[in-house]
């Protein structure tokens, strides 16, 4: 990834919108990257809309589809406000735009979830309405690793003629994400979750929906008139390379991640038999492990974990003093939610890394309990 970005930085540094030779060279890099991502995800190149990341992509599909319908209702040209369906375990970049729209009068239904954070297609079907304009369900939960039945949910929406969006940030490169087979209408992606650069992502959006979606901001309309601004050519090239590498090596990476995930759980359980695993053990995102440790003060535990890169919840919200909204949604008591560790295992981690991490956690808990 770094080598490709360096090559592009040196050879295609122009503005892709410029018509001179340097601009055309940069534009060719952008379109080649778009085609590579489309090939990896089994979608069309013109369905790939580059954004600054998944937060922007999520906001674009939610606000871009719902705001025009909300304006029709506010202007008296629609009998009722638009309706959207989602879940309480979404990423904050889905929850917050929906809550904002809800304050404006948009109707939002939060689907019930079970103790593992899963939704049922029957509950989705039961909550669809004539004015339902969008359904958004995260593919793989970023905190507890729950994999949702995306194919089933998409089929329910397709039968009802309702657009279906999924935040696939955690899923791509970890499990098979086939745009065509899944039958979804929109997915959000982020490069840095795949080993790519920060600051670049994409919304993959069916062409029919592009005509119904409005941009978040106005300008040059470089990305199919849905996203304006000079395209960051080097970041886009790195993004495409990361997607290719992650999807080409999917089977090998998945086996590696699942093996390390199981090793970590076994090592932790050997030292902490009372630990609680949050989220399912089956149908779980490879490389994700989320545990709660009863009887341990969360803040004190954190102070004893020097040298270990783990989090208590979503990395985007880990500065929030409140317990994880995902853990609260699945019924975890606050005391346990505050004594929770989330491990994210990557393809470059080794068994030695896993053993060291488990030893650090177990030693920290022993020290706290003996103090």
Using alpha carbons, select from 356, 357, 348, 193 the residue that is nearest to residue 291: 357
End-to-end, the C-alpha distance of the chain in Å comes to: 47
The dihedrals phi and psi of 109, each to the nearest 5 degrees, come to: -110, 125
User: Is 316 a catalytic site residue?
Assistant: yes
- Which residue in 80, 157, 217, 316 is the catalytic one? 316
Q: Distance between CA atoms of 53 and 234, rounded to whole angstroms?
A: 15
Q: Distance between CA atoms of 312 and 307, rounded to whole angstroms?
A: 15
- Estimate the crossing angle of helix 233-248 against helix 21-41, to 10 degrees: 30
10 Å Cβ neighbour count for 95? 19
Q: Distance between CA atoms of 101 and 97, rounded to whole angstroms?
A: 6
* Element at 301 (helix H, strand E): helix 298-303
Using alpha carbons, select from 43, 66, 50 the residue that is nearest to residue 16: 50
Q: Distance between CA atoms of 54 and 196, rounded to whole angstroms?
A: 13
DSSP 3-state assignment of 147? strand
Using alpha carbons, select from 176, 344, 169 the residue that is nearest to residue 260: 344
10 Å Cβ neighbour count for 325? 19
Tokens representing 162 are: 């309702």
CA torsion 163-168-173-178 (nearest 10°) is: -10
CB 57 within 8 A of CB 37: no
Q: Distance between CA atoms of 354 and 243, rounded to whole angstroms?
A: 25
Which stretches of 193-238 are assigned E, i.e. beta strand? 201-205
Would you please indicate which residues are annotated as catalytic (active-site) residues?
Answer: 316
């Amino acid at each position: 990834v770094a080598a490709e970005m360096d090559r592009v930085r040196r050879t295609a540094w122009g503005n892709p919108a410029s018509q001179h030779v340097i601009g055309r060279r940069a534009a060719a890099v952008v379109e080649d990257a778009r085609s590579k991502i489309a090939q990896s995800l089994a979608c069309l190149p013109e369905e790939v809309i580059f954004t600054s990341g998944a937060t922007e992509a999520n906001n674009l599909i939610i606000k871009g589809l719902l705001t025009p319908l909300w304006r029709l209702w506010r202007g008296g040209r629609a009998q009722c406000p638009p309706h959207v369906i989602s879940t309480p375990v979404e990423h904050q970049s889905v929850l917050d735009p929906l809550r904002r729209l809800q304050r404006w009068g948009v109707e939002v239904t939060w689907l019930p979830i079970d103790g593992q954070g899963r939704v049922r297609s029957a509950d989705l079907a039961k909550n669809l309405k004539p004015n339902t304009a969008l359904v958004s369900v995260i593919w793989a939960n970023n905190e507890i690793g729950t994999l949702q039945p995306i194919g089933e949910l998409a089929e329910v929406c397709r039968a009802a003629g309702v657009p279906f969006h999924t935040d696939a940030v955690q899923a791509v490169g970890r499990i098979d994400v086939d745009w065509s087979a899944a039958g979804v209408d929109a997915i959000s992606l982020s490069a840095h979750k795949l080993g790519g650069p920060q600051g670049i992502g994409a919304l993959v959006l069916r062409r029919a929906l592009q005509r119904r979606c409005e941009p978040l901001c106005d300008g040059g309309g470089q990305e199919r008139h849905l996203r304006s601004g000079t395209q960051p050519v080097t970041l886009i090239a790195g993004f495409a390379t990361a997607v290719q590498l992650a999807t080409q090596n999917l089977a090998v990476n998945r086996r590696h991640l699942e093996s390390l995930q199981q090793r970590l759980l076994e090592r932790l359980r050997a030292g902490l038999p009372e630990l609680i695993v949050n989220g399912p053990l089956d149908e779980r995102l490879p490389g994700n492990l989320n545990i709660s440790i009863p009887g341990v003060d969360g803040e004190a535990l954190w102070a004893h974990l020097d040298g270990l890169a783990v989090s208590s919840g979503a990395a985007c919200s880990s500065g929030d003093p409140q317990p994880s909204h995902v853990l609260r949604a699945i019924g975890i008591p606050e005391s346990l939610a505050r004594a929770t560790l989330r491990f994210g295992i990557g393809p470059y981690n080794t068994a030695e890394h896993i053993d060291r991490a488990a030893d650090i956690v177990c030693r920290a808990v022993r020290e706290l309990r003996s103090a």
